[in-house]
Chain A
Amino acid sequence: MPKLICQHTLKLNCSFPWLICVLVNLLALNTHAQTIPPVPKQVSLSADLSVKELTISWFGGAASTFDLIILRTEFNTSVFYDTISATINQASGRHEWKWTSAEPLECTSLSVRIRSRDGLATSEWSKINTFRGRDLPSINTLQMYPQDRVVEVGSNMTFCCIVEEGKTFKEMLYGNTIMNVTRLSRRSYATTLVNVEPTGVSGSNIVCRLKDLSLTGAVMFVGYPPLPSDFVCETQDLKSAECHWKEARDSHLTGERRRTRYSVNSRNCNVDSQLTCRLPLWDGNWTLMAENSLGHYSLSDSAELIHRVRPVAPVNLSSIANAWNATVIWQWTYESYFTLDLNCQVESTNHESKTLHVFSGVGLRSVKLSGLHPDQAYTVRVRCGDQKYFWKWGDWSQTFSFKTQTDVPDPPDVWMWMNKDRTGLVVWKPLDYQQSHGRVTGFEVTLWNPEDVEQHTQILPPNTYSVQVNLTEMASLGVNKKVFATVVVKNIKGASPPSRVPLRFIDEQPLVLSKPVFTNNGFFLFWQQNATNTCNYLVEWLDTSCEHDCPVKWIRVAAGSTNVSIESENFKPGVRYNFSLYSCPSDSPQLIKRWQGYTQELVPSRSVPLSVKSQDSKVVITWGEIPLSDRRGFVLGYNVYISNGSELALLANLSSSEMRRYVVKGLSVGNYKFTVKSYTSAGEDTGSTASITLEPFTDALILEMLGALGTITILLIIVTFICYKKRNWVKKAFYPDIPEPKLPGDWSRLQGPLDVRPSPHSMVHIVEKPERDFNKETLVVIPEEEEYFEKDEPVDTDEPMSLRYYNQVVDDRPIRPRFPGSSASSASSLDSGHTDVTYTGIQTSGSSLVFQPDPQGSSEEQPPEVVRYDGGYKPQMHPKVLSDDVVLKSSNPFQESEAASSVGYKPQCSWHLDSPTDTAETGSLAPSLGSPTSVASTQFLLPDGDGDEKNKQQPSSAAATWFSNLLLSSKP
């Protein structure tokens, strides 16, 4: 507060300044009195708890601006502090201001203070004014606020819980959710729900629990304001109005106090589940008002009465029924309907089949229903609408039932089955309720011939649908005469028109049996249109396996049709059905087409009858057909298996049902099991198995052996013949002539050995095998001259000059180079079947021997020594001087000495024909038979000298040259 201080000094001498000072002081006092607004007085608080609104009123003088502070009394925390502009209530003269609390006002006490403000100048604060909450110590109960509150979806809501003195708060729950809590005072706790969602039937609970498990709570309903739609008013009695509407959404506000209340033109409407309101008079304009705790909504409608007529339901229905039609009569509740142009629907129901008939007329009260069937019960109901200004169909009347009168039956549907022996069945279908026209009392079947007068009639009871006929017993009907059967149905009203069928055995069998297509809708049959045929068709079907008095089924097809679908509940899977299409079934049935098919093919139920037999070395498997009833499908073929232990190995797949034989070849002796399985499109049957044991076939064996021997004999004869014819060539090739030496003198008397000189192409070096017998002479191969290598002559040649002698004794092993005295050489010699002579290199070129000199003993290292061939073999045809440089040097001095001392070989000029038997005499030489000594040489190298040596050599050579001798002996 501004204060002006002035010293009041009264001096006469200074009157002017004093005067100024007084004036300033007065001015200051005056200013001070104007800037300090008055303190608000008589502050009072009033609350509207339902809306959490606190109204504060006070006397504030002329001030219009106030500072307001609201505190939670107990904790002295501020919840509001602001400068407000309050208006003066003209009636009371008090300033008034409303404050809305976030929390319910019951939660805790609030203290209010106000001061006036005038610009920057403010008055003193008013005295504290307290609005008492429910958490006062005097109210010591467990409480929850607010209670039973209804709020709109999406609102925020704060609840508080005031616990009892001395009790401890535990938690607050919304449903099963524990909420965050704010403490408002010592005993008060609050929680806020944000953006609340619609609640269920009985609202949502907010529960406050204490530590001692005691609890309190509040129920909250969250929903929507009303939203009606489709509000219309109409009339039924042509006088009053009945208004209807719908609710576009659920308000979610349940309970009598919260439900939406409706009024039309300010008249309350008691609605339950039907949102309808009745008004006694037709106002022409209507306003619907819907209201609930969260708001209200209104809708309007207006219309003329004649445009909104929804007729009432006809009453007191009755009928006048005939056999084929009936008149239905009804009455109207209101006489005003007699002049109303009406459009009416009559719904008739017969055997769950409904038919709607429509009629129109002024004040319509009766209609005639046609198209009914005799002896049938009908149920009818009627409803009408305004014909001129149709608004809505009226309500359906109560149903009314009546029964039509009886009439004579329709003619029956008759067909026949004839056996080959002129017996058969006349069959007809049961008449349904639309055909019998009353209870059937019996049937009358007549057999007759158009040419004769005589008829055979049988009376049959009801529920008979076939009769057996035997045309052979009816003499008058004759064998070749045309016979008809006529069937008449009788009921209480009379007899039906007759139905006839010609009795004739139709034995035609079409060439081709088609397979019909079966779908869920049945067998689909189609055929070509025959332009000449003007009759109806009849499709007959039966189990194919049936042959006598078969229970046929049939269906009639209109002329000109080309397809039909056959449906029957009696079709069974695995059963083959015959479908036959006949034309003109009532006069002269002609078979047009026939089908065979299955609804579903199955695997055969029986296996084939199987037999197996052996035929020579083959096995012939044959089997028979499966009976038709057991096939259960079209047999597509057979699988032939052979049992391989526990498994079956497929031998053959015969993809034709006609092939029922299979031959298995190439089986050896033993026991075999064969299985044959037929198969349909559904798969294989279990199969039939038969076994057979194959015995050894001795005759064939002998024949085979004889055949083989004969073949060998013929071959030998051919070879012998060829050899004989080509003996010259053979001789040249294998046994060239050795020219006889031409001696100048008489050599015949000489007893000594011939001085045979070795061929210049071959050098034979007789060696001794020291391991065995050092006294024995051995032939040692001498390497050929280099010139022969250079000549590169062919290895094999037919010319005797180049005939090569080689050792064949050592099996097939490659010829190894041998050197006199080398252990390898010796070993090889040992292998040669005790042959002491190694003929390698005799008259051969060096290339044929693959013979390499020992490097150690090569001519490069040691000077070649001249070997003297004193006793060597010298073919006389090609005398040639051995050059020095082709002499093989022997490293074995012993052999050398032996060679030197050798007297050489002499040709066996006068040898005798040997036979292998001769070798037996010298057992020690037997192993030499077939030894390499049998090389195809007719020249035998006989050691010169004693008889022992001859004996040793001769047997081997004799054995080897036995065939050569044979050739020689045949030399011309």
Chain B
Amino acid sequence: MADRRTRSMKSSNLSRTAVNRASMIALQLQGESSKLLELYRQKESFPADVTDGRLVSVPPPSSQLDTRDKLWRLHSALLQTQSLLERAITKEEEELGGGIKGEYENQRKTVKGRLSFLLLTTGNLLKAVDGAASLTPSLEGLELDGPTTLFQLKLWLLQVFSEVHHWSRAAVTTLQELLTNAADKQSSTTRVRSTRSARR
């Protein structure tokens, strides 16, 4: 578990607009990270079927998770992804960088900015659900032990970018679910209210 919950979750209603906005940002990040991945594969001539493992560790998804847990899980994963991405960029510049700012470098910067924005948005959603809950990113387990050679570093970068793409997709899915649930909840509430008023 890479993140710690500092406060217990409590029920709260989510703003549909905020969720929708976060969903849109996640959708943007999904497209941008996909392009980054593609640019990186092209740059390094990596085959498309290179196997990649997971770097981010969060509890497994479950249907038992409520809104707060889902949001917490997503936010935690995104925090780890952001940490990985920042380290990857630094490491790449240090080991391989030539100071050139091409399309790949610009896309990398865009993804980094978008991921930060998504994190901010999901953080706000989490606060809305869980009060003043704050998540402190922990980099345990994310240390770069393996990449002792440049080729391993490159594979690790590929993994990091894959993680960004994976969690941006996951963010889209989770936020869409939340949006659907919120809509269902709103309609059922309206139905109950109308029933009560009819009884009166």
A positions within 8 Å CB-CB of B: 144, 147-148, 173, 175-176, 200-203, 205, 207, 209, 213-219, 254-257, 273
Q: Which one of A201, A257, A273 has the greatest number of beta carbons of chain B within 10 Å?
A: A201
Do A148 and B150 touch (CB < 8 A)? Answer: yes
Do B149 and A147 touch (CB < 8 A)? Answer: yes
Q: What separation, in Å, do the CA atoms of A214 and B49 have in the docked complex?
A: 10
In the complex formed, the residue of A with least CB distance to B102 is A201
Q: What separation, in Å, do the CA atoms of A144 and B99 have in the docked complex?
A: 28
Chain A residues in 8 Å Cβ range of B45:
173, 175-176, 205, 207
Do B151 and A205 touch (CB < 8 A)? Answer: yes
Q: Known contacts being A202-B43, A215-B50, is A255 close to B95, with CB within 8 Å?
A: yes
- Which residue in B43, B44, B96, B151 is a CB contact (below 8 Å) of A255? B96
Say whether B60 faces chain A, with CB atoms less than 8 Å apart.
Answer: no
Q: What string of 1s and 0s marks CB contacts (under 8 Å) between B81-110 and chain A? A: 000000000001011111110000000000
Chain B residues in 8 Å Cβ range of A215:
47, 50
Do A205 and B154 touch (CB < 8 A)? Answer: yes
Q: What separation, in Å, do the CA atoms of A523 and B51 have in the docked complex?
A: 74
Q: What separation, in Å, do the CA atoms of A96 and B139 have in the docked complex?
A: 52
B positions within 8 Å CB-CB of A: 43-47, 49-51, 92, 94-100, 149-151, 154
Do B98 and A254 touch (CB < 8 A)? Answer: yes
Chain A residues in 8 Å Cβ range of B150:
147-148, 202-203, 218-219, 255
Do B94 and A219 touch (CB < 8 A)? Answer: no
Do A202 and B96 touch (CB < 8 A)? Answer: yes
B51 to chain A, nearest CB (A): 6
Do A202 and B44 touch (CB < 8 A)? Answer: yes
A634 to chain B, nearest CB (A): 58
In the complex formed, the residue of B with least CB distance to A176 is B45
Q: What separation, in Å, do the CA atoms of A215 and B154 have in the docked complex?
A: 13
Do B151 and A216 touch (CB < 8 A)? Answer: yes
- Number of interchain pairs (Cβ within 8 Å): 64
Do A213 and B51 touch (CB < 8 A)? Answer: yes
Do A201 and B100 touch (CB < 8 A)? Answer: yes
Q: Which one of A202, A215, A217 has the greatest number of beta carbons of chain B within 10 Å?
A: A202
B39 to chain A, nearest CB (A): 12
A559 to chain B, nearest CB (A): 62
Q: What separation, in Å, do the CA atoms of A425 and B8 have in the docked complex?
A: 88
Chain A residues in 8 Å Cβ range of B46:
205, 207
Q: Known contacts being A148-B150, A219-B149, is A201 close to B49, with CB within 8 Å?
A: no
Chain B residues in 8 Å Cβ range of A219:
149-151, 154
Closest 10 A/B residue pairs (Cβ)? A254-B98, A219-B150, A202-B96, A201-B98, A217-B151, A147-B149, A175-B45, A148-B150, A219-B151, A255-B95
In the complex formed, the residue of A with least CB distance to B92 is A202
Do B97 and A201 touch (CB < 8 A)? Answer: yes
Apart from A205-B46, A219-B150, list 11 A-B contacts with CB within 8 A.
A176-B45, A202-B92, A202-B97, A215-B47, A218-B149, A219-B154, A254-B96, A254-B98, A254-B99, A255-B98, A257-B95
Chain B residues in 8 Å Cβ range of A148:
149-151
Chain B residues in 8 Å Cβ range of A176:
45
Q: What separation, in Å, do the CA atoms of A175 and B41 have in the docked complex?
A: 11
Q: What separation, in Å, do the CA atoms of A254 and B43 have in the docked complex?
A: 15
6 contacts between A and B (CB under 8 A): A147-B149, A202-B92, A202-B96, A205-B151, A254-B98, A256-B94
In the complex formed, the residue of B with least CB distance to A273 is B99
Do A203 and B51 touch (CB < 8 A)? Answer: no
Do B94 and A255 touch (CB < 8 A)? Answer: yes
B156 to chain A, nearest CB (A): 13
Chain B residues in 8 Å Cβ range of A256:
94-95
Chain A residues in 8 Å Cβ range of B47:
173, 207, 209, 215
B5 to chain A, nearest CB (A): 37
B155 to chain A, nearest CB (A): 8
Q: What separation, in Å, do the CA atoms of A273 and B101 have in the docked complex?
A: 13
A193 to chain B, nearest CB (A): 14
Chain A residues in 8 Å Cβ range of B96:
201-203, 254-255
Q: What separation, in Å, do the CA atoms of A176 and B46 have in the docked complex?
A: 8
Q: What separation, in Å, do the CA atoms of A209 and B92 have in the docked complex?
A: 24
Chain A residues in 8 Å Cβ range of B51:
213-214
Q: What separation, in Å, do the CA atoms of A200 and B95 have in the docked complex?
A: 14
Do B154 and A202 touch (CB < 8 A)? Answer: yes
Q: What separation, in Å, do the CA atoms of A147 and B153 have in the docked complex?
A: 12
Do B95 and A205 touch (CB < 8 A)? Answer: no
Q: Known contacts being A254-B96, A255-B97, A257-B95, is A144 close to B151, with CB within 8 Å?
A: yes
In the complex formed, the residue of B with least CB distance to A204 is B45
Q: What separation, in Å, do the CA atoms of A173 and B149 have in the docked complex?
A: 18
Chain A residues in 8 Å Cβ range of B49:
213
Chain B residues in 8 Å Cβ range of A205:
44-46, 151, 154
Chain A residues in 8 Å Cβ range of B94:
255-256
B11 to chain A, nearest CB (A): 46
In the complex formed, the residue of B with least CB distance to A250 is B98
Q: What separation, in Å, do the CA atoms of A219 and B95 have in the docked complex?
A: 12
A169 to chain B, nearest CB (A): 16
Q: Which one of B43, B50, B51, B96 has the greatest number of beta carbons of chain A within 10 Å?
A: B96
Q: What separation, in Å, do the CA atoms of A213 and B52 have in the docked complex?
A: 11
In the complex formed, the residue of B with least CB distance to A144 is B151
Q: What separation, in Å, do the CA atoms of A402 and B94 have in the docked complex?
A: 48
Q: What separation, in Å, do the CA atoms of A202 and B94 have in the docked complex?
A: 11
- Which residue in B43, B98, B99, B151 is a CB contact (below 8 Å) of A218? B151
B158 to chain A, nearest CB (A): 11
Q: What separation, in Å, do the CA atoms of A217 and B153 have in the docked complex?
A: 11
Q: What separation, in Å, do the CA atoms of A389 and B30 have in the docked complex?
A: 63
Q: What separation, in Å, do the CA atoms of A438 and B44 have in the docked complex?
A: 65
Q: Known contacts being A201-B96, A256-B95, is A147 close to B44, with CB within 8 Å?
A: no
Do B151 and A147 touch (CB < 8 A)? Answer: yes
A202 to chain B, nearest CB (A): 4
Do A254 and B97 touch (CB < 8 A)? Answer: yes
Chain A residues in 8 Å Cβ range of B92:
202
Q: What separation, in Å, do the CA atoms of A906 and B148 have in the docked complex?
A: 158
Q: What separation, in Å, do the CA atoms of A175 and B151 have in the docked complex?
A: 13
Chain B residues in 8 Å Cβ range of A214:
51
Q: What separation, in Å, do the CA atoms of A367 and B99 have in the docked complex?
A: 43
Chain B residues in 8 Å Cβ range of A147:
149-151
A172 to chain B, nearest CB (A): 13
In the complex formed, the residue of B with least CB distance to A209 is B47
B179 to chain A, nearest CB (A): 37
Chain A residues in 8 Å Cβ range of B50:
213, 215
Q: What separation, in Å, do the CA atoms of A749 and B43 have in the docked complex?
A: 153
In the complex formed, the residue of A with least CB distance to B96 is A202
B132 to chain A, nearest CB (A): 42
Q: What separation, in Å, do the CA atoms of A216 and B100 have in the docked complex?
A: 27
Chain B residues in 8 Å Cβ range of A203:
96, 150
Q: What separation, in Å, do the CA atoms of A242 and B46 have in the docked complex?
A: 45
B96 to chain A, nearest CB (A): 4
Q: What separation, in Å, do the CA atoms of A259 and B151 have in the docked complex?
A: 18
Chain B residues in 8 Å Cβ range of A218:
149-151
B47 to chain A, nearest CB (A): 7
B18 to chain A, nearest CB (A): 40
Q: What separation, in Å, do the CA atoms of A888 and B90 have in the docked complex?
A: 144
In the complex formed, the residue of B with least CB distance to A202 is B96
Q: What separation, in Å, do the CA atoms of A175 and B46 have in the docked complex?
A: 8
A174 to chain B, nearest CB (A): 9
